[in-house]
Every structure is written in structure tokens, then in C-alpha cells.
Amino acid sequence: MSKMLAYEEKDTWIHRLSGVTKLIFFLLWCFTSMLTYDTRILAFMVAFSLLIFKISKTEWKQVGTVFKLIMVFLILNVLAIFILSPDHGTEIYGTRTVLFHIAGSYDLTKEQLFYELNVIIKYFTVIPAVFMFLVTTNPSEFAASMNKVGISYNIGYALAIAIRYVPDVQGEFTKIKHAQEARGIEMSGKASLLSRIKNTSAILFPLIFSSMDRIDTVSNAMELRGYGKHKKRTWYMERKLKRNDYLTIGFTVVFTVVALVITFADGNRFYNPFS
């Protein structure tokens, strides 16, 4: 199961940034990309995302399969918007420039094309940021840094455990699945819907039981080692915020504010080239 994005150790300045810095960047970046439909800002964000992607030395083989999957979703989404609301662009931009007639009530309008172009660009602003965050952040260091900026260590631990156990649970799932398939349980499209649900539960039951056991084992082990006894913990992977961290956070905040000011300067979140 290699198609998942996972942390890989490298030595670039992005890898050396604290996990918290990258989380702040990631969240604010997503937030800005969510709010703005201003094509100029989105275009800048795409360019900047690609630059970060380049600097973080992320390789195509780390993210390629996931990227192809996103493209499929992107195309489906764009088509669904067009089929269900071919005139959404007109509603937003207020004008209607028909390029050519397709069929029935479907016209291809410039406004719709422009709106869907914005939807596509929005995907591309966020994708590199997600890749960068997942591929360059060490989960243990991330938990430690979260605690260092004042977030309860329980939350940091829950997150670290989650990231830490994903591959384990996946491995277990595969093992159980192979065992059940060897016993003749059909998982593919050949089985009917109801029997497919039943067959999935044949895998999920053992997986749930072993996971519940795991929860007991891990929490007992943590309890034995005195977890939660004190208000504070020390961390092996601890990393203090350095100059670059403050610079990055500063840049992100300034960028978010500027982007939102530009976006909403004309009263709404869309950039309208038609008026």
C-alpha cells in the first residue's frame, strides 16, 4: 500500500521548520484558498505552491499516484458542476456570453468556463501544500512542537498515535483480508451489494476486535509509565521555534491578510473580468 503520502526524511530548510509552523501555514493557506475566488490571488498561490514543492525536494514518485487520483476527482467534480448547473457562472458574474450551443438548455458560456477554471485552480493551490505538509513533517516532532506552543499534550499524543498506527492498522487489514479471501470470501464487484457488505464485515470484525485490544494494550502501557501524572512532559523530538519559523509564520499571516483585503476590496469574493 504505497499509494499513501508519508513522511520521508530529507534535509531542506522546509524539513527543518517546526511542525507547528507548517501546520499554521497549511491551515491558513487552505483557509485563504477556500475564501478567495480572486483569480489573480489564486494564480499567485499556485505559483508559490509549486515553488515550495520544488524547494522541499519532493519527488514525483512520492506523490504521483495520489496526484493521478486527485485528477480523476477533479474532472468528475468539474463535469458534475457543469451538468447540474451550466449557468452558475452567469449567476456569479452577471453576464452571459455564449460561446456555442451544446444541446437542450446547455450552452457553453465564457462565464461558466471562467468559474470552472477558478474551481480547478483552487485544487492546484491546495494540493502542493498538503503534499508538502505530509511529506516533510515528522509526526513525533510535530506532537512535541504542538505541546511546546501551549497545546495540551493529550492532543499532541492522540495525533501522534493516529499517524503512528495508520501503517500498522493497514498491515493488519491486509493480512485479515488475504486470510478471508483465502477462505473464499468475495470482495470485488462480482458479489451482490448486500453480500458485499456482509463480506466487508467479515474483515472489519476481526480488525475492530484487534484494534480494541490494541487500545487496551497501549493505554495500559502508557498508564504503567505514568502518562498523565504531571501537567508537563519532556520530549525527545523537541524542537524550538527558530528564526525561520517566525519568518514563515509572519509571511503566512501577512499573506492571508493581504489576500483577503484584495479579494474583498470590490465587495465580493469573485474577480470579475466581464464587467
Partner 1 sequence: MKFKFGIKEVVAIGVGTALFVALTEIQIPTPIPNTYLQPRMAIMAFLAAVFGPLVGGVVGILGHALGDAMFYGSVWWSWVIPEGIIGVAIGLCASKFAIKEGEFKNVKAIVLFNVVQILANIVAWALAAPCLDILIYAEPANKVFLQGAMAILGNVLIIGILGTLLCVGYSAVGAKSSSLNKEE
**Nearest residue (CB) to partner 1, 185 versus 204:** 204
| Cα(169)–Cα(208) distance, integer angstroms | 10
Does 30 sit near partner 1 (CB under 8 A)?
A: yes
Nearest 10 degrees: CA dihedral of 212, 215, 220, 226? -160
Nearest CB to partner 1, comparing residues 72 and 243: 72
Phi then psi dihedrals of residue 103, to 5 deg: -165, 150
List 108, 113, 159, 176, residue binding partner 1 (CB under 8 A)? 159
Told to check if 195 binds partner 1 by CB under 8 A, we report no
**Closest approach of Cβ 82 to partner 1, in Å?**
9
Min separation Cβ 21 and partner 1, Å: 17
Question: Which residues in 49-78 contact partner 1 (CB under 8 A)?
Answer: 63, 66-67, 69-70, 73, 76
Cα 33 to Cα 39: distance, rounded to the nearest angstrom:
11
For 195, 220, 236, the CA distances from 29, given in Å and listed in that order, are 43, 39, 29
Containing 100, the helix (H) or strand (E) segment is strand 98-103
260 near partner 1 (CB under 8 A):
no
CB burial string 128-139: b at 16+ within 10 A, e below: bbbbbbbbbbbb
Q: Examine residue 201 and tell whether it contacts partner 1 (CB under 8 A).
A: yes
Residues 25, 31: Cα–Cα separation, whole Å:
10
Min dist. Cβ of residue 41 to partner 1 (A): 15
Task: Give the pairing of strands 98-103 and 106-109.
Answer: antiparallel
- The site for partner 1 (CB under 8 A) is made up of 1, 3-6, 30, 34-35, 37, 63, 66-67, 69-70, 73, 76, 80-81, 84-85, 88, 92, 119, 122-123, 126-127, 130-131, 133-134, 152, 154, 157-166, 168-170, 173, 189, 193, 196-197, 200-201, 204-205, 207-209, 211-212, 214-215, 218-219, 222-223, 227-228, 269-270
